[in-house]
Chains A and B, each alone.
Chain A
Amino acid sequence: MSQLFFGYFAGMIAITAILVVVFRNPVYSALSLLVMFFHVAGLFITLHAEFLAAVQIIVYAGAILVLYLFVVMILNVTQDDHYHSQWRIAGVVCIPLFIEFMLLLSGGAGALNTGSPSLQSGPHEAITANNTLAIGKTLFSTYLFPFEVASLVLLVAMIGAIVIAKRDIGEHDA
């Protein structure tokens, strides 16, 4: 049963990821990325990461994608987007990387599947049935300082975005 779910989510993620690159209209690209975000959230639920699935839908699908669609509609993008002339270089970069990855994976798959028993007991709490509670406890004890730094990153990004996108800064005021 879990393999059925994984097959569905993985297939849809792969297809919609390719469609994001293939569609020439940015609105269609953004909408297929939306479908992909929902399926990634489903994959997170099958991995018992319910909190991250909710955050994925709220932040990515709710905030980031809406921001993209707003910008696409503000800029009034036309559809005449052809592919870049460097697609041959892109193929030369990507295909050897992909083959290399497959070779690595076929070599190390046995070692990954067995899993060393010493890794099973991590220093943090085990993933319990109450995923959100466990994440909250870890976030506010072990990762408290990175959490504060993340809030600083968001503040800097907010101020930076306002300053960059502001029209004619320093021309009419000064």
Chain B
Amino acid sequence: MTIPISYYLILSAIVFFTGVMGVLIRRNIIAILLSVELMLNATNINFVAFSHHLQDLGGQVFVFFALTVAAAEVAVGLAIIIALHRSRSTINVEEFNLLKW
């Protein structure tokens, strides 16, 4: 008894749109980065589901690379957060208007 691929797509869409909502409505910059992780995981679920559906390992290898890029993104993003907190002593994104004109 196998699960239809559309169920995985619906689950992935729910997680992805939750991530989009989180990026748009949260003001804590750490919560925004966590929401980006949600979106990355939604794409990973899609990749693995299609890899199983099409019996093709390319999807799983791609998830492996997505994990690599996610780790790099987290390291650089958290370093930027620490540097920002050191100069402005806040992590509320509405306080950061350095690049605004």
Residues of A within 8 A of B (CB): 1-3, 6, 10, 13-14, 17-18, 20-21, 26, 29-30, 33, 36-37, 40, 43-44, 47-49, 51-52, 55-56, 59-60, 63-64, 67-68, 71-72, 74-75, 77, 81-84, 86-87, 89-90, 93-94, 97-98, 101-102, 105, 109, 112-113, 115, 119-127, 131, 134-135, 138-139, 142-143, 146, 150, 153-154, 156-158, 160-162, 164-165, 167
Per-residue interface assignment for chain B, residues 16 to 33, with 1 indicating a CB less than 8 Å from any chain A CB and 0 otherwise: 011111101111101101
A14 to B38, CA, bound (A): 10
Per the CB 8 Å criterion, the residue count for chain B at the interface is 71
A-B contacts, CB under 8 A, total = 234
Asked if B96 is at the interface of the complex by the 8 Å CB criterion, the answer is no
User: Is the beta-carbon distance between A64 and B74 smaller than 8 angstroms?
Assistant: yes
Residues of B within 8 A of A (CB): 1-7, 9-11, 13-15, 17-22, 24-28, 30-31, 33-35, 37-38, 41, 44-45, 48-49, 51-58, 60-61, 63-65, 67-76, 78-83, 85-86, 91-94
